[in-house]
Structure 1
Amino acid sequence: MAAAISLALATGGHAYADEPAADATLQTVTINTSRSPLDPNLPTTSASKTQEELRQQQNIFNPEDALRNMPSMTIRKRYSGDRNALVGGRSFSTTQAPRALVSMDGYLLSNFLGRFDAPRWNMIAPEEIARVDVLYGPFSALYAGNSIGTTIAITTSRPTAFSGALRVATQDQSYDQYGLKGHYRNYQGSALIGDKLASGLWYKLMLNHQDATSQPMNYAIATADAAGGFAAPGGGVATPVSGVVYDTGPFGIRRAILGANGGSIDHTRQHTAKASFGYDFSPTLGAEGFVAWWRNDTVTRNQTFLRDAAGKAVWSGRVSDGANVFVLPAAAFAPYTREEQHAQAGLTVKSRHRSGWNGSVSASAYRILGDVQRNAGSADPLAANGGPGSAVLRDGSGFNSIDAQATYTPGAGDWTGGAHALVLGVHADNNKLKQTTRGTADWRNANGAESQFVGGETRTFALYAQDAWRFAPQWHATFGLRAESWQASDGVQRALPASPRNYPRRSERAWSPKLSLNWEVDGDTTLRLSAGRGTRFATVSELFQGTAAGSSIVINDPDLKPERSTALELMAERRYELGSLRASLFQDDVRNTIWSQLNLNVFPNVSNVQNVGRVRTRGLELVGRLDRLGVHGLSAEANIAFSKSTILENQNYLPSVGKDWTRVPRVRSSSTLTYAPADSWSASATYRYSGAQFNEITNSDHNTEVYGAVSRVSQLDVRLLLKPARNTEVALGVDNLNNNRAFQMHPYPGRTLFAEVRYAF
């Protein structure tokens, strides 16, 4: 940690990259420039990585890996093949998915159908990532209210001639937890081919296949009482067993670990196919679009730690290790399977004048064609023969969006006379959720009577305007305003034996002003002060999804207020001949944070999705790079962020007031050292750190370095990139070389070997 802080303070750690790294031997499918496709007058701090930087510095197996070293960012990727790789940012946790706005070539990848649904990373193959840009805070009127956290814009490659690439990657993870040791292996292959024809037509075809197996994700736990004893229900003879493992949980209470359960080891096979295309009607008018399909087949398994006197595995029943008695329910080690098919399509038409007015219209649709999870009602050995269970289906859920935008860019000689760069736009989207739960006589199929249904729809319509005004030679101000109208409708919840609940239509409106003042002190120094309001509306599941189980009441809240963020940032950047340094002071003050918590103001107490009155985050972020360190080919970049996120108001749960917000570390850093003395090879090492965090808003989970907690991350990754022949790359690496054992409730991967071969033409 000390080394990371020292490097960050000495060099900063900036991820800006305006030009691609030189590569004289490898041809790739690339876009015709590495410059950001974003609006050049965005009033927000950003960080970027190009394809060349990513390939040189990181072992990338899944698309979200490209983000793991960005400033003030957490990617909760639990294992390769994880469909729930969530984003955390400066002021929000990885369990607040709707505060991350993720797009691919301008098309929405963020999935706002569920509270914890991750962006649909699967619509991208790592091989086709050309550039990643990360924007911080709600300072631009061009982006929806979900940008109150972090906006991630991924640009994929576009061919400029006939070209393509083949890539094969593999991982081998060594993992040891609670005495359960194993190697978990992953494989991925991708193919990319494209061309740009003389007619103005271009196309790109992508295929990606992945076969991955996770380390154990969940464990069956029995928790002791305050005195450290384990009390089991009376009655019956207990089977003598061995294999129980004891430790201390996040709350400092003794517990027994009985095995890896809950579909703990996840084996997935994923396939992605995508066709991208475009056509230039003229030098100034073109159209482009894509169609993509993704399939996932998941089979899970569990592992009991318990063995009887004959050494036979024990999966359920009343057991004793001679010191304590435990009762394992029949479904404690039940597996599940899941089959998913998703599709997305998008189309954009736009003009490309160098100055003056331009226009664009863009539309996209995302559909869950099929999604069924089959849950067994009995443990692994018996489950293979069938038996009762349940199934959850989300077929037909999806989201759509459409945007129309007009921009005005002054000519090259117009910027000196108080010129204005304008953006005017209109946006509309809708999100529709349909989720059915069925009881099944044979869990291996999804046929059965409906036991619960939740559904609903949200719609947003927005108008926005932005004006970048250069009112003096070294000064410009950016004014923005976003007006949004939101509506929720068709909310319904049916759960037997209760009567159906149908929720009335409701609507909200929000005005989100933005202001930024930028001063180019000289050719190498920039100061910027930004202020912005952002409004994030509730998702379908936050409004309408809920259930009641026994004495535990877990319900939704159809009357949730939108989250309203008021953010400030003071940024200073200095550019040197050998690199750059940026410092950002930021504050994010959020009213009505949407969160699931216990409500102490009602009886019986209810755990549900509620509004937390006020959460404020303040912090300092340092980002910098050195392109030369005195040795030919040696460069460094680093970032470090210090922040404090505090609950200031929470009327329904007063014990949380004054406590730290969940899963926002006080220190987060990343430092990369790269040695590239020749075009034929390079070596990189990256050290990542984040401090321990709380998962409970009362901060009662103080024992953080254990399963079930949110621990420190202290990880070293290394990569060696070789170019042994023209058009060929071979990469060898190790992620988590120091085998740091870290948790974000679930365990993060252990030491993982990485190998990759790539051929481009």
Structure 2
Amino acid sequence: MPPSCTAHPGRPPLHLIALACLAAATGSSHAQGVATDAQVQPLVITGTRAALDPNLPSSTASITAEDLREQNLFNPEDAARMLPSTAIRKRYLGDRNANVGGRSHGVLQPGRALVYVDGYLISNFLGRFDAPRWNMVNLEALERVDALYGPFSAIYPGNSIGTTLVMTERKPRGFEASASLRLSQQDFQEYASAETYLAGQASARLAMRHDNGLFWVLGLQHQDSQGHPMGYANAVRGSTSGAFATPAAQTRVSGIVYDTDPNGRERALFGATGIDHSVQDTLNARGGWALSPTQEVEARVSLWRSRSDLRYDTWLRDEAGKPVWLGSVRDDRYAFSLPASSFAPSTRLEAHRQLGATWKTTHATGWNASVVATQYRIVEDASRQANLSQPEADLGGAGSVTRRDGTGWTTLELQATYRPVAGDWGQGRHAPTVGLHRNEYTLKNIVNTASDWRSTETALDQSYFGRTRITALYAQDAWRLNDDWRLTAGLRQERFETWGGAQYFAGPPVAQNTYAARRIDASSPKLALAWAASDTLLLKASAAKGVRFPNVDELYNGTKTGTSITTSDPALRPERARALELSAELDLGRQNLRASLFRDDVRDTIVRQTDSTVTPSVTRVNNIDRVLTEGLELVWDARDLGHRGLDLGANATWAQARIEANAANPASVGKRWLRVPPQRYTAQLAWRGTPGWLFAAAWRWSGRQFNTDTNIDIHPDTYGGTSRVNQLDLKASWRFAPQWEWSLGIDNAGNHHAWQAHTLPQRVLHTALRWEMR
């Protein structure tokens, strides 16, 4: 070890020294000479280079269509689950609430994850569990997924303080056709529930590019899936009113299961809830035309329709062996009271529409311009909830209907970029980008009472409304100081506006609130310096500020049900992140390595938390004064190692995320931040050595997490907890004919049980048959 790498008291932590040593050791092993133009570009890992801005000032990672063949894919969000420092909260096949978590934010902070498909925003910032609208992505056409970490680029909105995912669909080069059939099976067992759940998906795609520059794409997808239980009807000692009472004249039952809840309290469970059967259909239509050799237009229409039916399963049986769904019950130990809401079924019917249009120029050098517009609308969203339990509710009865018809968002992006040529702007040393961004979110939520929950709507019970708008001007320039150094500087100036906020409750007592309009201005400067230290080594330092404004739901959501109350805060402050990253990227041909030190210091972090110690439970949204995350990320990639066709890859993230200040709850200071594991590892192996065959394995592991800001959830390995994840996936595929491929796979081969409050999937078997012609 060089003397300069020796640790001394009072010097930086070991992980900082480790990165410095890597840079020093690598730099000393290569003669430093004149870098080529390619070497002053981000030398990101092979196969992980973002196909976006070539001057991105921060770390990136990517997965290509060929890489995706190594994974068991059922839904589009599966494509992102092996990316470094990334978590996808997918609870079951067909889940519509698969949120994204990153290296400094958890999956319950959806406002910190941006997701695009072909430049169109599909991030759904309309609710706590409103995940990106993955359904709008055509899995048959998915060409790559690129991830950007942190707020270092002025090109992206303030929501990029976490993770930005850019999904790209393939454009046809001629006539193309493909179709696939996927089937999955999960044998699920937990508590007293034991059942097999099936899922199937059929998809097809037709595409054509004509000689005159016109192209079109048509994609169809049908999915029918059954989810495992998302919850369990339960009572907690000291929290649920009347629970754990002395047995008396209540109905005697069998089947009550006892365990310990995440906070260490005794709990009784009575049956499974939220068993989802969903049928989803997606239509994607895309077309474009090359108006000239340097000018293109494109349009997109996506339609998604979903029907979801939630059923329930009681474990309780009376002395005659008949199911018991509600009322006062007891066993030999305790007595309980089961309200009708414990097993009250629900259905939800949704219809969503996305429109998109793009115009751009494609000059090889000089100025280019682009316009991208998106409109996303929830055309219909009716969630029908019964007040009675099964089986009485199957015959009708009172209930409620929640509607979000008309909710949605629009975006507009105007951008101009300059591609330098020798002799321009200091011999091609400047590559500026300027742009205007605007997005607007509209929230409409109405709850009506229903005399028959299956078909009627009687009277207004409650509602909340609101609108937000963000307008931003930005500029960024990548300046080649010389052949080895590049400085990237940017500034994003944003204006946030919110208006139309209102809440209504029929009571009693009747409550009606309207909220004044607000306006907030914010500036976000960006700066990054890259040095091509040798022919194979790139060192980079990046610093940035990012501002994430409150989502419209965080400002105005106010909902009451028989089991829960949700309150928001119309005076929420925006999150303000100050981020730093130091990285070293090493390219050794077939092997590549990146090491990144990161520091995210976020003031006024916005978080929602649920207090389940009271009945009904209360969920509140508020600002946390300061959350600090520091960590190290390592990414390694190797191609054609040893034997031809053997690829290996691995990444690891160590993060320390803690609450540094919280005047509203001083007891939380020093505690670990929500849903950010201290360690996270993934590893992949793929072998294509035998013609036509592919064998792959992927392993994911993440440390335990917390679900409360005071870290009182000390028992993570149970329903409601946030546990470790330890999952091994296996896959084999065979191209048995020129246009045909069959695959067989297992997710979670070791059947390791894990929880993210809800139970995560247990062992799942997959098989798929695919035909493709192009």
Deviation at 1:629, TM superposition (A): 3.0
User: Residue 53 of structure 1: which of 60, 67, 70 is its match?
Assistant: 67
Measure the CA separation in 1 of the matches of 2:738 and 2:158: 47
User: Residue 657 of structure 1: which of 669, 673, 684 is its match?
Assistant: 669
1:217 aligned residue:
230
1:184 aligned residue:
197
Alignment of 1:128-139 (within 5 A): 128-139=141-152
Paired residue total: 727
- The C-alpha deviation readout for 1:208-234, integer Å capped at 9, x for no partner, is 0000000111101111249x9984578
- The C-alpha deviation readout for 1:103-153, integer Å capped at 9, x for no partner, is 000000001111321000000122111010000000000000000000000
Alignment of 1:90-109 (within 5 A): 90-109=103-122
Secondary structure of the structure 2 residue equivalent to 1:243: coil
Deviation at 1:331, TM superposition (A): 1.9
Q: Mind listing any 5+ residue stretches in structure 2 that lack a counterpart?
A: 1-18, 23-41, 612-616
User: Residue 624 of structure 2: which of 612, 618, 627 is its match?
Assistant: 612
User: Residue 725 of structure 2: which of 703, 713, 719 is its match?
Assistant: 713
2:187 aligned residue:
174
Deviation at 1:321, TM superposition (A): 1.3
1:459 aligned residue:
469
Deviation at 1:316, TM superposition (A): 0.6
- The C-alpha deviation readout for 1:570-592, integer Å capped at 9, x for no partner, is 00011113210110000000000
Q: Residue type matched to 1:71 in 2?
A: P
Normalised to the residue count of structure 1, the TM-score between the two structures is: 0.93
Please state if 1:288 is matched with 2:298.
yes
Q: Mind listing any 5+ residue stretches in structure 1 that lack a counterpart?
A: 1-8, 20-33, 600-604
Deviation at 1:15, TM superposition (A): 13
User: Residue 218 of structure 2: which of 202, 205, 216 is its match?
Assistant: 205
Alignment of 1:115-514 (within 5 A): 115-225=128-238, 231=243, 237-261=249-273, 264-411=274-421, 417=427, 419-497=429-507, 498-514=510-526
Q: Residue type matched to 1:422 in 2?
A: P
Alignment of 1:9-48 (within 5 A): 36-48=50-62
Secondary structure of the structure 1 residue equivalent to 2:481: strand
Q: Residue type matched to 1:224 in 2?
A: R
Q: Residue type matched to 2:360 in 1?
A: K
Percent identity of paired positions between Structure 1 and Structure 2: 46
CA contact (8 A) 1:238 1:325 kept: yes
CA contact (8 A) 1:455 1:490 kept: yes
Measure the CA separation in 2 of the matches of 1:231 and 1:274: 51
Secondary structure of the structure 2 residue equivalent to 1:115: coil
Measure the CA separation in 2 of the matches of 1:362 and 1:596: 33
Measure the CA separation in 1 of the matches of 2:422 and 2:382: 56
- The C-alpha deviation readout for 1:393-445, integer Å capped at 9, x for no partner, is 00000100001001001126769846100100001110000000111111102
Q: How large is the Cα RMSD of the aligned pairs?
A: 2.2
In structure 2, relative to structure 1, the CA distance for the partners of 1:606 and 1:189 (3 Å cut) is closer
Q: Residue type matched to 2:752 in 1?
A: N
1:666 aligned residue:
678
Measure the CA separation in 2 of the matches of 1:566 and 1:287: 38
In structure 2, relative to structure 1, the CA distance for the partners of 1:454 and 1:362 (3 Å cut) is same
Secondary structure of the structure 2 residue equivalent to 1:153: strand
1:22 aligned residue:
none
CA contact (8 A) 1:287 1:349 kept: yes
In structure 2, relative to structure 1, the CA distance for the partners of 1:91 and 1:256 (3 Å cut) is same
CA contact (8 A) 1:358 1:407 kept: yes
Please state if 1:757 is matched with 2:769.
yes
Secondary structure of the structure 1 residue equivalent to 2:88: strand
Deviation at 1:633, TM superposition (A): 2.1
Measure the CA separation in 2 of the matches of 1:183 and 1:128: 31
Q: Residue type matched to 2:455 in 1?
A: N
Secondary structure of the structure 1 residue equivalent to 2:79: helix
Q: Residue type matched to 2:488 in 1?
A: T
Deviation at 1:16, TM superposition (A): 6.3
Deviation at 1:635, TM superposition (A): 1.8
2:3 aligned residue:
none
Measure the CA separation in 2 of the matches of 1:80 and 1:16: 33
Please state if 1:593 is matched with 2:611.
no
Q: Which moved more, 1:36-45 or 1:176-185?
A: 36-45
Measure the CA separation in 2 of the matches of 1:156 and 1:644: 36
Measure the CA separation in 2 of the matches of 1:620 and 1:17: 17
CA contact (8 A) 1:16 1:48 kept: no
In structure 2, relative to structure 1, the CA distance for the partners of 1:541 and 1:710 (3 Å cut) is same
Q: Residue type matched to 1:730 in 2?
A: W
- The C-alpha deviation readout for 1:344-367, integer Å capped at 9, x for no partner, is 010000000011000011111000
In structure 2, relative to structure 1, the CA distance for the partners of 1:71 and 1:623 (3 Å cut) is same
- The C-alpha deviation readout for 1:726-761, integer Å capped at 9, x for no partner, is 011111100000001000000011100000110011
Q: Residue type matched to 1:291 in 2?
A: V
2:583 aligned residue:
571
